[in-house]
Amino acid sequence: MSNPEPQSDAPGRAHSHREIMIILSGLMTGLLLAALDQTIVSTALKTIVIDLHGLKEYTWVVTAYLLTSTASTPLYGKISDLYGRRVVFQFAIVTFLIGSLLAGAAQNMSQLIATRALQGLGAGGLMALTFVIIGDIVPPRERGRYQGYFGAVWGLSSVAGPLLGGFFSDHNTILGITGWRWIFYINLPFGILALVITSAVLHIPKIKREHSIDYIGAVLMVAGVTSILLAVAVYGPEYGWGDLRTLTYLVVGLILSALFVYWEGKAKEPILPMRLFKNHTFSLTSLLGAVIGAGMFGAIVMLPLYLQIVKGNSATEAGLKLIPLMLGIVSMSIFSGKQITKHGHYKRFPVMGTAIMTVGLLMMVTLTRTTPFWQLAIFSIIVGAGLGLSMQTIVIALQNSVEFRDLGVATSSNTFFRSLGSVFGTAIFGAVLNNRLTYYLQGGFADLAAKNPSAMSGLDATQKGITDIIANPENYAEVIHNTALDAYVNAFHIVFITAAPITAIGFLLALMLREVPLRTSHDYAAARDEAAGEAIG
């Protein structure tokens, strides 16, 4: 066996606060890029579609990124367990940068979709390995003091994504380059910075292991997840949940997933060891991650829609009005992190967080056409506070409960389940919104026709007509416009009513968590040395 590559840090050596902060700067830059690209494209899609003449394929610009980033996440954790964190993390950065460069240069929709998929392949590693690497260098007892920084990244991306997407797409050219292309080119300097920082300071002892890659398991997992995501995120919303394509992809995905589970139970070096699900904390935090992902994206996706459609805000204004949500996430991430480091207790925070998030979502049910922004801001802060208390805390609980040799695959699996939750949540909430919107529009205009037949004279009540009513209210009578807005408001109410029980399930799951004393620096060094000894032995 060849000797491990030289490292400046001995396995048992603890990093100083200054060293950790330098490493964090590189990790957070990479994470911010991946998180931004989930949201930055949405506000620029209209401009991109017009420029590249690709109306029919527009949903794939978002979906291609989502598919590859989600499906690749568990693979990165396992591969980094085998080959070392730094080289795999840097591979993810380079892949993301190449995808960004090519996406910015795309000349048609096919090229853009393909390069977005490549971007997503890199982003999966950035999102997964950031938390794995922090798990390597900071013991669970001390990790709370740093978790607020990651909460800040998620919060910032939720606001900055729509803002930057709107800014770049609103400019025809910037420095002689088409405005929307800067959505991708802006990644390059920050990605290179992350690459430089991690090359200079990310020295994590690499534990050499005898290994074999589970290629069959990898193929089954990627194919199964991709099929399910295609059914849930693409064909279901576009063609209907009873459509043959939707059902076919869903059934094939479930069969492949079942085969994956069966195969992983037999594989010598499984991609996702089934024994991890015997760990009470791993199973619970995986479910909690999915619930929190659904709740997070349910709020983040629906609030800008409400602001733009019902309140008439521009994409940029809607992005700015998400700042209270970000403040809630960041402030409570920092608060809970400091409290965990100080007292060593973590269970109370996901319990409080999921309860607060549920209350915040229920408060959203009171939104109307005339709700003042200060009131919406309070609701947003409450939902954000719940997310901030929960999101990073469950990662600390998870990493504290698994063996050091499984740290990478366990952490990336948690990120994977959270991503799956966000996809399913967005699809479910989108389906509920569309279904209820049709119902309330028909009912609202039928009532209006009964009360005031002349107001409905010559009105186009199709989807195209309703869109024009929302976009050009000055061309319609106030009663027509208000009827359409009321239908949207009522549909949003049903979405929030649907989301609240999901986060309430998260509250019940959080109550079931078993609080295990957080490992200290000494405990962590011993666990790392033990893992190294097992690998060598």
Residues 6 or more apart whose CB falls under 8 angstroms from that of 218 comprise: 75, 271
Which pTM was predicted? 0.80
Identify whether the C-beta of residue 459 lies closer than 8 Å to the C-beta of residue 331. Answer: no
The tokens describing 184, both together, are 């991708």
Identify whether the C-beta of residue 64 lies closer than 8 Å to the C-beta of residue 106. Answer: no
Residue 420 in 3-state DSSP? helix
Residues 6 or more apart whose CB falls under 8 angstroms from that of 209 comprise: 81, 82, 535
List residues bridging with 177 in a β-sheet: 174
The 3-state secondary structure of 90-128, one letter per residue = HHHHHHHHHHHHHHHCCCCHHHHHHHHHHHHHHHHHHHH
Q: What is the pLDDT of residue 323?
A: 85
Residues in the chain: 537
What CA–CA distance (Å, rounded) separates 381 from 360? 8
Tell me how far CA of residue 14 lies from CA of 86, 204, 405, 526, in angstroms.
17, 11, 18, 12
Tens digit of pLDDT at every position of the chain (537 positions) = 334 333 333 344 566 777 788 888 888 888 888 888 777 877 677 778 777 776 666 667 777 888 888 888 888 877 887 777 888 888 999 999 999 999 988 888 888 889 998 998 998 888 888 888 887 777 777 777 777 777 778 777 777 777 787 778 777 778 888 888 888 888 888 888 888 887 877 766 555 555 667 778 888 888 888 888 888 877 887 777 788 888 999 999 999 999 988 888 887 778 788 888 888 889 999 999 888 888 766 666 788 788 888 888 876 777 788 889 888 888 888 888 888 888 888 899 999 999 999 999 999 999 988 899 999 999 999 998 998 888 878 888 888 888 877 777 888 888 888 888 887 887 788 788 888 888 888 888 888 877 877 766 667 666 667 777 777 777 778 888 888 888 889 999 998 998 889 889 999 999 998 888 876 655 555 545 444 444 444
Identify whether the C-beta of residue 168 lies closer than 8 Å to the C-beta of residue 10. Answer: no
What CA–CA distance (Å, rounded) separates 184 from 112? 11
The 3-state secondary structure of 20-78, one letter per residue = HHHHHHHHHHHHHHHHHHHHCCHHHHHHHHHHHCCHHHHHHHHHHHHHHHHHHHHHHHH
What CA–CA distance (Å, rounded) separates 89 from 95? 10
Residue 53 in 3-state DSSP? coil
Q: What is the pLDDT of residue 99?
A: 93
End-to-end CA separation in angstroms for the chain: 12
Identify whether the C-beta of residue 311 lies closer than 8 Å to the C-beta of residue 330. Answer: no
Strands 173-174 and 177-178: antiparallel
Q: What residue ranges do the domains of the chain occupy?
A: 17-213+269-439+490-536, 214-268
Q: What is the pLDDT of residue 10?
A: 38
Residue 393 in 3-state DSSP? helix
What CA–CA distance (Å, rounded) separates 323 from 212? 47
Q: What is the pLDDT of residue 523?
A: 52
Q: What is the pLDDT of residue 12?
A: 45
Sequence letter at residue 323: I
Q: What is the pLDDT of residue 356?
A: 94
Task: Give me the CATH code for the 17-213+269-439+490-536 domain, please.
Answer: 1.20.1250.20
